[in-house]
Chain A
């Protein structure tokens, strides 16, 4: 079904704002964080106005309501990615914390010196640094699936790395710079053939594609609410039950325990075992409202709309002399267009576009090794979501011509 973008835009009050007098916001930075629909803002506002109390321990009305809202959000998030059970959804702060949870709990219990972990050259720093840290601590080995010139993973390299019997393969489902959607199902199947565990960074995929963790057969799947219409400060880790149950706790404290003695504790059952301390309750409720919103619009419809916008954007951007695009063609990628402009630094591009209310991102987008691979310090990146239009792409293109004029 074709999206009614005019109606959708009305759900996002921020899109109406001006960044300066007479200049309306053109928000092309959803890959960094998406805007939030009214239903999410209201769900969190309602919670604080009506139900706010700490969860799980209390018996009073508000505590019960808060707990029910917090847990019902977990149920809907589980359904949204087709997890077998809500017990498999661990609330975290964000994708980064989800990956760190696997690195601290699963990996420290299962990896020893010399064990191989396979990553890719297109990873976000959040799926590199936790493994660098473990390498320093444990002496694990890291190797990387290379990225080809057109911005896709080289699966032949992957297959040869798998012959070295890795213990873990961890990769992004969708690159936050190139936009490349990696063949996750195929990659997971290949990894399982050599008995490797697979962690998928879904920060960019869950907001934009229909993700089914069971169909993918992912062992762990990490994502953040704030890139999918939800609030900041909350994310999730999905894991297979038998893995999560065998893992030691991550952070220690309240709520993650079943029983505490002066000198010992027994860990709580899933998912609470991994959720120490008072969590981000309002944010979890906002996360639930966000998946409700995305479900209502329909993930297939969102993907189709973004594809149309991306195809148009790549076509228009390609016309601009001196502009170089990074990443594969529109059929292999999500709604991301990273580019450089001859002789003009990305920061200057972003700054001048901002004068016209156009918000894009400039820098290495937390993927420094990928930029080094392409021999550039930084790129400018425009990204698209369900609320973006072709008219906004035109504004971007006109803005880029203005940048070139400034530096003429």
Chain B
């Protein structure tokens, strides 16, 4: 638990590298965590070969949700959409490098849910997307 607020997370929360919006973009999707009201929007630019050329996130929430969004965006630039579809809970935990209880896990996974809902062109960011 003490590791929860290790430096990398505080650093990405306070000084995110990929916060913002992309205009124009090819994919944009936003959703909330209904439990705590955290909000994440993700914008993607995708090349003709299906590779993500640029990405940004915006929104508000706790350090875990915002840091995990920043780390996620950082990790997907240059990746094909097909690969993004394969990302799951473990991918996020690996990026964060911490263990999380069930409540905070929802904070950490919000950005991936939003990303995958956008990539799949779904109307809603559901839990099944990250299992």
Which A residues are closer than 8 A to B by beta carbons?
343-348, 351-352, 354-355, 362-364, 368, 371, 377-378, 406-407
Contacts and interface: CB of A to CB of B under 8 A. Distances in A.
B5 A352 contact: yes
Nearest to A345: B62
A345 B1 contact: no
A321 B64 CA distance: 24
Contacts of B5: 348, 351-352, 406-407
B76 interface: no
Contacts, number: 48
A362 B35 CA distance: 10
Nearest to A355: B1
B4 A351 contact: yes
A377 B36 CA distance: 8
A407 B6 CA distance: 10
Interface in B34-62: 35-39, 60-62
Interface of B: 1-2, 4-5, 10, 14, 35-39, 60-64, 104, 107
12 contacts: A345-B62, A347-B36, A348-B64, A351-B104, A355-B2, A363-B36, A364-B36, A377-B38, A377-B39, A378-B36, A407-B10, A407-B14
Contacts of A378: 36-37
Contacts of B104: 347, 351
B60 A377 contact: yes
Contacts of A364: 36-37
Nearest to A352: B5
Given A345-B62, A345-B63, A351-B104, A363 B1 contact: no
Contact of A363 (B4, B35, B64): B35
**For A348, A378, A406, which residue has the most chain B Cβ atoms within 10 angstroms?**
A348
B68 to A, nearest CB: 13
Contacts of A348: 5, 62-64
Contact of A406 (B10, B38, B62, B107): B10
Contacts of B62: 345-348, 351
A38 B7 CA distance: 44
A183 B16 CA distance: 47
Contacts of A354: 1
Closest 6 CB pairs of A and B: A347-B62, A345-B62, A377-B37, A348-B63, A363-B36, A348-B62
Nearest to B32: A377
Given A346-B62, A347-B61, 6 more contacts: A345-B61, A351-B62, A354-B1, A362-B36, A364-B36, A407-B10
Given A345-B61, A348-B62, A407-B10, A368 B4 contact: no
Contacts of A377: 36-39, 60-61
B63 to A, nearest CB: 5
Contacts of A368: 37
Contacts of B38: 377
A124 to B, nearest CB: 15
